[in-house]
Structure 1
Amino acid sequence: MNTTTRRLASIVMVMFLTLLVSTTWIQFFAADRLNSDPRNARALYAQFGTDRGPIVVDGEAVASSVPSDDEWNYQREYERGRLYAPLTGYYSLVSGTSGIERAENDFLAGSADALWVERVQNLLTGSDPQGSAVELTVDAAAQEAAWDALGDQRGAVVALEPSTGKILAMVSKPTFNPNDLATHNTGEANEAYLNLLNDENQPLLSRATATTQPPGSTFKLITAAAALESGDYAPDTVVDAPSTYTLTGTRTDVGNFGGTSCASSGQMTLADAMRISCNTAFLDLGGDLGAEAMNEQAEKFGFGSGYDVPFSTAASQYDPDPDEMSTAQVELSGIGQGSVTSTPLQVAMVSAAIANGGEVMAPYSVDTIRDAELQVVSETRPSSNGRAISEETASQLTDMMVSVVEDGSGTTAQIPGVTVAGKTGTAQHGDNSAPPHVWFTGFAPADDPQVAVAVLVEEGGTLGGSATGGRVAAPIAKAVIEAVLNG
C-alpha cells in the first residue's frame, strides 16, 4: 500500500469513527435533552399528536383531548376549566404544562414505564398510543360548593378527608381558564399567557398551595397543641389574659379584636382563651413556650416542608431561623403573626390531624390511574407523615374547637344536627395598611370526622376592614362541609 492510499484510508477511518461517535452521542447520551428541547418540532408533533388521557372527577372528564383539524391531531379541552384549574393546571403548545397535567404527564401521554405492555402492543400492531385516565380524589359537590361560597372574593378553599389525606376540594380565586392556553392558535395562546403573567392578582398561582400568608389565629391551634404537649398546661389551666400586651423589649402594645377585654379579672382558662380567640393570652403563651417548642410543634404538623400532591406545593414556615428570633417575635408567633406564614392546604392539614387523633396524613389528589382498557395501573395508598400530637391532646383540642363553634368566635359555622369543630383567624399582613386576611379552619362531625377544611379570604373579601374569620370565612367552610356530608 503506497503512502497516498494509506493516508486516504486513515482519513476514511477517522471520518467513520467520528460519524459513529456522533451518532451514538445523539441517539443515546443527548436523546433526552434533544427530545425536551422546545425547538424540536418532531417532539411537539409526537406529543400533541397523542390521544392524551382524561383527568376525571366523579366519573366525569374535566380535561380531555378532542380531535383537531390541524397538524397537531388533538387539542386539550377543559370542562369547567376555571373551577378545576388549581388542580388540572394547563397543557399548552406555548406555555408548557402545570398541575396534574405536568405531574402525571407520562401517564396522560401513555409513555409511563408502568404502561410498557400496552406500548409494546401498540408497537407490534401499529396502533396509535393512548394516554391513561387520571382519576382525582375530588368531590365534585364540595368543589362546586367551595367555588360558589367564595364568590368573587380573592382567596382559597381546601377540604381534606382526615383519615386518608384525600383532597376533596381545592379552589383558588382569581383563577384562569386553561382553554385559553390550550388553543393551537399560538398567537392567542401567547397573548393569554402574557396577560396572566402580568396580572397583579397572579391568577396562575394557586392561593391554595403555591402562596403563603400569615395564618393569624388559626395558628393558635398549634400554640395550644405545644402547650398541652408540654405537660405544663391543660384546657382548664388559668392563663394571663390582660386587656393589652406589651411585646417584650418593645413599646408596642397588642390588643384583642375590637379593643375588647378577654376577662375582667385579666385571667381565664386556656379553653376559654381559645373559644373567644384571646390574643393577649396566646401572646403570653407563645413567649412562655419559646421558639424551640413552637417551631418543633409546627414542624410536626408539616410546617417547613412542601408536599407533592402530586404537583409540588409551597412550604409553610414558622420562621426562617427560629434560633435568632427575639422574644417579641416568638410572642407574635403565638397568634400566627410575625414570621409565621402558611398555605391553606397546611392549615387544613392541622385541622385534619386533630380530627384524625393527632396523626398527619399525607395529602394527595390522584386516586387511581387507568389505562385505555380501564385497568388500574396505579393507585394511591394513604400514607402517614407521622404523629403531631397525642390522641389525648387531639381530643382536648377537639373539645376546645367545638366550643369555638358552639358559643365562641365561629358560631356561623354551626350546622343543625352536626357538631362542628373550628377555629377562626384574622391576620394582619404587609405594612398593616390593607384590610386583614380572614381565615376559618375546622372539621365535622366532631365525633366522626369526614371532612376537614380551611378557608382564606384575602383582605376581608366583600366586608373589607370590618371582616372577621367568623363573619366571612366560616360560612364558606360550612357550605363545603355540608356538601361533603350530604353527598
Structure 2
Amino acid sequence: MGIHKIKRILSLAVIFLITMFMLTIKIGYIQLHKNRTFTLEAMEQRIRTLVQTDNRGDILDRNGIPFANRTKEKKVAVFPNCVYDTAGTARMLSKIVEGTDKDKLETRLNNKKGFEIYTLKDNGKLTSEIPWNKRNFEGLIFFEQPKRYEKDGIANHVIGYTRASDNKGVAGLEYTFNEFLTGKREDILSVMMDAGNRVIPSGVSTKEGSPSHRGSNIVLTLDYNAQSIVEQHAEKLGQRGAIIVVDVKTGDIIAMASRPNFDQTNINKASEVSGCLLNNCILPYQLGSVFKIVTTAAALENGIISPKNNFYCHGSTSVQGWKYQCYTEDVGGCGHITFEEAFARSCNTTFVQVAQRTGGDKILDMAKKFGLGQKVNIFLPWEREGSLPSVMEVQGPGIGNLTLGQGSVQVTPLQVADMITTIANNGIRKKLRLVDSIRDNKDNIIAENLKSDMGRVISISTALTLKRLLAKATLEGTGANAYIKEVGGTAGKTGTAKFSEDINYIWFAGYYPVDRPKYVIVVFNAGQGSSSQNAVPIFRDIVLDMEKIVIE
C-alpha cells in the first residue's frame, strides 16, 4: 500500500472520529440540557385540550350579585377506548345526557378512538338516581364548566352577549367593556392520546380556572331584586316596550328592561325574532301627551300661564286648517277648564292654545334643557339621541304636533326617565348612572363613574308646580289608576301616540311617593289601547312590588 493511500485513510479516520466526537457531545448536550424541553414538546403533541375557560370577568349588581357566570354547567367527557361495558355505559348515559339516545351512544362507544363531551340533563340532578356500578364509570370524567348565561337570565339587553366563536362581547355592556372583561384562556380539561388517537387513562387532567387570570368585574347600579320585579312585569308589555326605574336622590338606574326579550344562550334563534335584540330603553318613539310636561315647563318658566288660568275646550281646535281633537270631542269637549284640570285630564285643545301663546322656540329650548334630542350616555352601545323638530317646523300648524308629542318628536324611555328625575329633584338634573365602577378580582377600583349634579334646569317654583300637577293627574286625572295612598301617593303623566291602525305608543312616566320622591318609573308599551289601560297598571304593580324589597 502506497504512502499516499495510507495518508488518505488516516485523514478519513480522523475526520470520522472528529465527527463522531462532535455528535457525541451534541447528543450528550441534548440529553443533559434539552431532555426536558423535547420531552415536553413530545408530550404536548399528544395532549388534546378538551375544555377551556375564558376567565371572563363578572358583571355585578350594586350589591355584588352576578348577572353573568351565576352557575356552572355539569358535563361528562366520554373516552370510548377506556369504556369496559359498552352496552351498559351507553344505557346509563342515555338517561342522563342531552341530545342523543342509547343506540347512538353505543355506536360511538364501539368506535374506540377520540372522545365526546355531553351536557348532563337537569344540570346533573339525574346522575345520583342511576344505579351505577364500578364498570359503568370507566372511561367517564364528570366535570363542571362555567356557564356565562342562563336561559332565564335577567337584564339581558343591558348585559348583552358574547360571540360563541371567540367569546368577544358584541352587544350591551359585554361589548362596551370587552377589553376589561376579557381574561386569559386556560385549560380546565385535557387528555393525552397515544399514536392511535386513543386516550391514555392516566393522562386525563382537570383543574379550576386561576383567579389571577380572570378579567375585571363591572359593577352596575342595578339592583338584582328590583330588576327581577321589573322583568316580571315587563312580560305584560305589547309587541315592543321598556321599563326603567331610577333612584331619584342619586340618579342611579335601579332596573332597566326591554321587550321583546331574547335567550342569551341561543343568539341564533333570537336573531330570527324581529326586534328582540334591540334595547327599546334607548331607542326613540313618539312621546304623546307626556310631552305636555315640556310645554307646561316652558309656559311656567316664561310666565305665560299659571295653574288657575281658565280655558275653554270645544272638543277640537284648528291651527291654519289643521284640526287637533280632544278625546272629549264626542261629548262636546271639556268646556270651561282651568289649566291644572287640563293637565290632569290631558286636554289637547287647551295645550294647543298654551303652546301657541308660549311659542315653539321656547318649548324646543325647554326640551333641550331637559336633555331631549341628546344621548344620555350610560355606556350602552347604540343609544339613539332621538329627534326634535326645527323651529321652522313648529311655526303655524306644527305647534300642535309639538305640544302633543307627535310627528318628529322622538324620545327614548331613558330620556323620559332623565326628565322626570329632574322634576322630582326640584329642577336639578342628576347624571343618570348605569355603571358604578370597574374593579379587579381583588375588588380594587380600576375606574369609577362618580355621581354628580348637572345643574339646574328649571326654577324651584316651576318644579314644585309641575310636581303638584303630576300629583293631581294621578289623584283625579288620566293616571288615576296609578294612585296608591299606602305608599305616600304617586305622581305622573300618561301619553298615547298613534303609530298605525294596530299600534299605539303608550306611556306612563311618574314617581313615588309624592312628597319625598324615591323612585322614578317609566313604562313604554307599543300595543293596542291607551296608557290608562296598558301602562298605568304596570306602573302601579311595580310600585307595590318595589315596596316589598329593600334596596341598599
TM-score of Structure 1 vs Structure 2, range by shorter chain: 0.7 to 0.9
Report the alpha carbon displacement of residue 241 of structure 1 after superposing the two structures with TM: 2.7
In structure 2, what residue type is equivalent to 1:480?
I
Q: Distance in 2 between matches of 1:392 and 1:146?
A: 33
Higher normalized helix content (fraction of residues): 1
Match of 1:316 in 2: 386
Equivalent position of 2:262 in the other structure: 176
SS in 1 for 2:384: coil
Secondary structure at the aligned position of 2:304 is classed as coil
1:145, 1:479 within 8 Å by CA — same for their partners in 2? no
Correspondence for 1:98: 171
Deviations 1:4-37 (A, max 9, x none): xxxxxxxxxxxxxxxxxxxxxxxxxxxxxxxxxx
Instruction: Kindly provide the CA deviation profile for residues 190-224 of structure 1, in whole angstroms up to 9, marking residues without a partner as x.
Output: xx0xx544533x11111111x21111111111111
CA distance in structure 2 between the aligned counterparts of 1:171 and 1:227, rounded to whole angstroms: 33
How far residue 309 of structure 1 moved from its aligned partner, in angstroms, is 1.0
Matches within 5 A, 1:202-213: 202-209=275-282, 211-213=283-285
How big is the shift at 1:302?
0.6
User: What is the match of residue 232 of structure 2?
Assistant: 148
What's the counterpart of residue 479 of structure 1? 541
Question: What CA deviation, in whole Å up to 9, does each residue of 1:374-412 have, x standing for no partner?
Answer: 223333211233322111111100001111111111111
Partner of 1:109: 182
- The answer to whether the Cα contact below 8 Å between 2:169 and 2:178 also exists between their aligned partners in 1 is no
Shift of 1:132: 1.7
Matched with 2:273 is 199
Tell which deviates more after alignment, 136-145 or 219-228: 136-145
Gaps of 5+ in 2: 1-48, 78-115, 118-143, 185-209
Determine whether 1:456 maps to 2:524: yes
Are 2:475 and 1:406 aligned?
yes
- Tell me which amino acid in the other structure corresponds to 2:453: S
Aligned AA (1:150): A
| In structure 2, distance between residues paired with 1:385 and 1:314 | 20
* Matching of residue 59 in structure 1 with residue 64 in structure 2: yes
What letter matches 1:203 in structure 2? C
Structure 2 match to 1:364: 433
Asked if the contact 2:156/2:261 (under 8 Å) is kept, the reply is yes
**Change beyond 3 A, Cα 1:401–1:281:** same
Equivalent position SS for 2:148:
strand
* 1:426 counterpart = 2:496: yes
Residues 1:235 and 2:239 aligned together: no
- 2:253 aligned partner: 167
1:441 aligns with 509
> Pick from 286, 293, 296: which aligns with 1:224?
296
1:153 is displaced (CA, Å) by 2.7
Aligned with 1:380 (options 425, 437, 449): 449
Compare the two structures and name the one with the higher strand fraction. Answer: 2
The answer as to whether partners of 2:67 and 2:153 remain within 8 angstroms in 1 is no
Q: Is the contact made by 1:329 and 1:339 (CA closer than 8 Å) also made in structure 2?
A: no
Provide the C-alpha distance between the structure 2 equivalents of 1:240 and 1:316, rounded to a whole number of angstroms: 33
Give distance in 1, aligned partners of 2:430 and 2:332. 38
- Distance in 2 between the 1:324 and 1:332 partners? 10
Provide the C-alpha distance between the structure 2 equivalents of 1:396 and 1:261, rounded to a whole number of angstroms: 29
1:369 and 1:233 map into 2 onto residues whose CA distance is: 48
The 10-residue stretch of structure 1 (165-174 or 135-144) with the greater mean CA deviation from structure 2? 135-144
Residues 141 and 483 of structure 1 are in contact (CA less than 8 Å); yes or no, is this contact kept in structure 2? no
Q: Is contact 1:142-1:481 (8 Å) kept?
A: no
Q: Which amino acid aligns with 1:450?
A: K
The whole-number CA distance in structure 2 between the counterparts of 1:258 and 1:132 is 59
Letter in 2 for 1:158: I
Q: Distance in 2 between matches of 1:109 and 1:260?
A: 63
Matched, 1:470 2:532: yes
Structure 1 residue 476: deviation in Å? 1.1
Encode CA deviations 1:69-93: one digit per residue, 9 max, x unaligned. 899x976512465531111011113
Match of 1:134 among 194, 212, 218: 218
State the distance in 2 between where 1:340 and 1:81 align. 35
1:334 aligns with 2:403: yes
Distance across 1 between alignment mates of 2:151 and 2:368: 36
Larger Rg: 2
Tell me: CA distance 1:253–1:234, structure 2 relative to 1, closer, same or farther (3 Å). Answer: closer
Letter paired with 1:470:
S
Q: What CA distance in whole angstroms lies between the structure 2 residues aligned with 1:159 and 1:304?
A: 21
Q: Retained in 2: the 8 A contact 1:146–1:171?
A: yes
> Which residue is 2:325 aligned to?
254
Cα 1:394–1:127, aligned 2, differ >3 Å: closer, same or farther?
closer
Once the two structures are superposed, what CA deviation does each residue of 1:155-193 show, in whole Å capped at 9, x if it has no partner?
A: 110111122221111111101111223xxxxxxxxxx0x
- Equivalences, count: 400
CA separation of 1:260 and 1:138: change in aligned 2, threshold 3 A: farther
The residue that corresponds to 1:348 in the other structure is 417
- Partner SS state of residue 179, structure 1: coil
SS of residue in 2 equivalent to 1:252: strand
Q: Distance in 2 between matches of 1:159 and 1:260?
A: 37
Q: Is the Cα contact below 8 Å between 2:376 and 2:415 reproduced in 1?
A: no
For the Cα contact (< 8 Å) 1:139–1:484, is it kept in 2? no
TM-score by length of 1: 0.76
CA contact (8 A) 2:67 2:154 kept: no
Report if the CA contact (8 A) 2:183-2:213 is conserved: yes
Residues 1:230 and 1:96: Cα distance change in structure 2 (over 3 Å): same
Measured after TM superposition, the shift of residue 128 of structure 1 is 5.2
SS in 2 for 1:178: coil
Q: Is the counterpart of residue 286 in structure 1 residue 291 in structure 2? A: no
Change (3 A) 1:344 1:257: farther
Per the alignment, residue 188 of structure 1 pairs with: none
After superposition, give the CA deviation of every residue in 1:334-360 in whole Å (9 maximum; x if it has no partner). 111121111111111221111011112
Letter in 1 for 2:265: N
Q: Which moved further from structure 2: 304-313 or 338-347?
A: 304-313
2:149 alignment partner in structure 1 = 78
